Structure 1
């Protein structure tokens, strides 16, 4: 079992990437509260550790080349964030069939009856991430995000 802060990181990263993919190629403001939930700064105006961990996850995604942004909005959001080319290609790429089966996402015979274009959409990393996020299972979210992070980056 991973440390709680690592599981929260994977979930925050997954939510951020799903939001950015859903808006791609449009730039959006990526708000920490939309990802980690509401936060009440203390009497000194400092955010909670949870809020700051999520903000740190967003900055890490940028430092690792998965997203770009123009500026930060205090410690509340990333202004005009967008996926990088590499992240878009990685999320659009097929996830390993063995992983989708392991996570219980493979639908067996019913998927093979769908049109090829729909089958292709259902096999992508982004579909896998969206599906495990809906499940709410932190172990599955961690596995899916590890697959995204460790996917062969090729030449992108």
Structure 2
């Protein structure tokens, strides 16, 4: 089992990517509270570790070339964020067949009767990320995000 902060990182990344993909190509403000949940700064105005970890994950996505933004809004949001070309292409690409099979074991052959174009849409990385988020299972979310961005770049 991964450390909790790593699992939260994967979940934060997944939520941010889904939000940005859903708005693409529009630029949107990406709010930490929409990703990590509400946060009340302490008496000194400092955010919680959880809030700052999420904010750090968003900054990391930019540093790794997965998104762009114009500015930060304090430590609350990224102003005018948009997916990078590389992130958009990767999220839109079909995931490896073995990953699709592993994540869809409970629905084996359910998609066999769908038109090929629908089957193709359901096999993309972004669809698998959305599906993993719906389950709420941190291991599945971690697995899908890792497969999307941190696996070898053979496709």
Q: Normalised by the size of structure 1, how large is the TM-score?
A: 0.94
Corresponding pairs, count: 155
2:47 aligned counterpart, secondary structure: coil
Structure 1 runs of 4+ with >6 Å offset: none
Q: Is the 8 A contact 1:66 1:86 kept in 2?
A: yes
1:47 aligned counterpart, secondary structure: coil
Change (3 A) 1:106 1:124: farther
Residue of structure 2 equivalent to 1:103? 103
Residue of structure 1 equivalent to 2:53? 53
Q: Is the 8 A contact 1:90 1:151 kept in 2?
A: no
Q: CA deviation at 1:113?
A: 1.0
Q: Is the 8 A contact 1:33 1:39 kept in 2?
A: yes
Residue of structure 1 equivalent to 2:68? 68
Q: Is the 8 A contact 1:90 1:153 kept in 2?
A: no
Q: CA deviation at 1:106?
A: 6.8
Give, in whole Å, the separation in 2 of the partners of 1:71 and 1:78. 6
Unaligned runs of 5+ in 1: none
Q: CA deviation at 1:101?
A: 2.0
Give, in whole Å, the separation in 1 of the partners of 2:44 and 2:107. 51
Change (3 A) 1:104 1:113: closer
* 1:128 and 2:128 correspond: yes
1:62-106, CA deviations, whole angstroms, 9 ceiling, x for partnerless residues?
Answer: 000000000000000000000000000000011112112222367
Give, in whole Å, the separation in 1 of the partners of 2:31 and 2:133. 18
Give, in whole Å, the separation in 2 of the partners of 1:151 and 1:19. 22
Aligned CA RMSD, in angstroms, stands at 1.5
Unaligned runs of 5+ in 2: none
* 1:22 and 2:35 correspond: no
